Chain A
Amino acid sequence: MNPRPISKRLRLTLYMAILSIFFIGAFMASIMIGSMPLSPSNVIDAIINPRNDPVASSIVLGYRIPRVLFASLTGFVLGISGGVIQTLTRNPLADPYITGMSSGAALGAAIAFVVPFFPYFAVPALAFIGGLSMLLLSIFLAKKAGAGSLGFILAGIAVGTFASAILMVVLAISSEKAHGIIYWLFGSFSTSTWGDFQVALTVSAPVLVFVLYKARDLNILLLGEEHAAQLGIDSKRLWLLLLLSSSLGVSVCVSFCGIIGFIGLVAPHMVRLVIGSDNRIVLPLAGFTGSLLIVVADDIVRNPLNPIAEMPVGSVTSMIGVPFFVYLLIKKGKSFGM
């Protein structure tokens, strides 16, 4: 009989190749589109001979490339983390923010906006601290309640709601600064720098490698802690490690670019609906799908006339992703189970 995993390998490669073609297209477009449109030859020229056209070159190298790299990384991290967290909680509705992390990050960012004299990097720093502390709090509460993955989801909702309540208060008492906070909440890559990208990559690269390395054991964790333990997996520890590492990646990206919803929920499902539930295939493809969605959305949000007034990237990801997702759902709804 034909050993199936070889065909799995083939399928992974094939889908990866298809996604890469689209991704490279979106990536190139992202460098060309903007308040100063550039042709492909302009772009190549700007990279190879920066002296010919210093303005174009500084736009390409200083703004657009870091922006698209950061957006791709964020999409990749969100896609993979979404897949991991859906599997860990065994809940198809879970996304990387189910831990209360997004509300925590939003609260941290809002506080950084409101408090005077905070340096510019206070926003990502406090967002990171806020998100991670809410995550740890919900893990702690879930452990106390001891109700398994369902308890964890409930703890996450409780913690998130509490953080949101405080955020509302902060918004209400900071009327003149509320605009900045709300803009951050929309999520945007317009301010992404090389520095952001380097920090995010340094944190998320090892995390992504670890999570992908454990993809096979993650499949077994889908059966639940008890079954996984009997099959030889150190399930309690692995559960916690995978949750912490995938959340760490999300938390660092989100702290720079703001809350970008929907990708983490939907990218893994899109992949599952097309190719099944093996995380060794789902996770890498969900990462690529997330990157593709986010880069395309980031191309659409740009306003060539007024670079300041961009559309919120999170809403655009939803607007292009939801119709496609609904189409898949109706077409292949039966395999919606994880």
Chain B
Amino acid sequence: MRVIPRPRAGATAGESSHLYSRWTPYLFLLPYLLVFLAFRLGPSLFGLAMSFTRWSIVGSPEWIGTANYDLMQIDPRLEVALKNTAFFTGLTVPLLVILSLALAIFLNQPHKGRALGRIAAFTPYVLMSTVVGVLWTWLLEKDFGLVNVYLEQLGIAGQPWLVSQDVAMYGIILTTIWWTVGYGMVLFLAGLQDIPAELYEAARIDGASSWRLLRHITLPLLAPTTFVVLMLTIINSFQVFDQVYVMTSGGPGTATLTLVQYIYTTAFQNLRMGYGAAIATLLFAILIVFALVQAYLYRRGVTGTASQ
């Protein structure tokens, strides 16, 4: 490729003080930095600036100061989107963390067949989001969907999963958990591998029960992993979009309208680019708060105590 930088002549071991020419590091960095500037840093700053404009795709942008942010405070749909996203995150995150931890511990038991269980639990995560969305739209179908058919057979009334305002979000949450629980499990399994077996042996010799081993060795030593899984899940949950777009498009009504779904509708369906950028900035602000909390907790040693 043409973008490979060429090192300067003279950048050889001959000159002991110069292992490489002064410009070599910059030439190595240049290709990435150009792409980074043009497609990441630049657009991020551009997006921030756009949030202070009114900009529909035709016509030119108009500087309107903080008007978009003023509008956000009285926008009922944004309020709904925030509440829905918080509800989705508040339910999905604890369920995912607990279930994936339980799965990891369960599939770490020394029984034959556990590898099969691990592969099965991870398989849904291999599927692309829209395949998962299409599949679960069918599974959660009101009349003939597999979930309702089996629920009825068990004597439980079927739910109008995706077509009722009351339960649509639960349908999305169920789908998300099935899809991503294997991801958390893999991270927890990696964490379990790092716990020295001698700790368990020593505790067993002292007559500790399985419950005490779990409570006093496994869980404390998994704290750093739990922290990572928790943070990744929170960040991903706040950005939930794909399943929602495919399964409900934010409906029925606004029952599953999430923040990113609202950004999409605002910017690319209603073509209010400026306001869309402002909502994206709000999402950024929310995520940065989580990042700061994370950094603070990390410094405080919540995770540090148990790691090396």
Q: Do A and B bind each other?
A: no
On A, residues with C-beta under 8 Å from B are none
On B, residues with C-beta under 8 Å from A are none
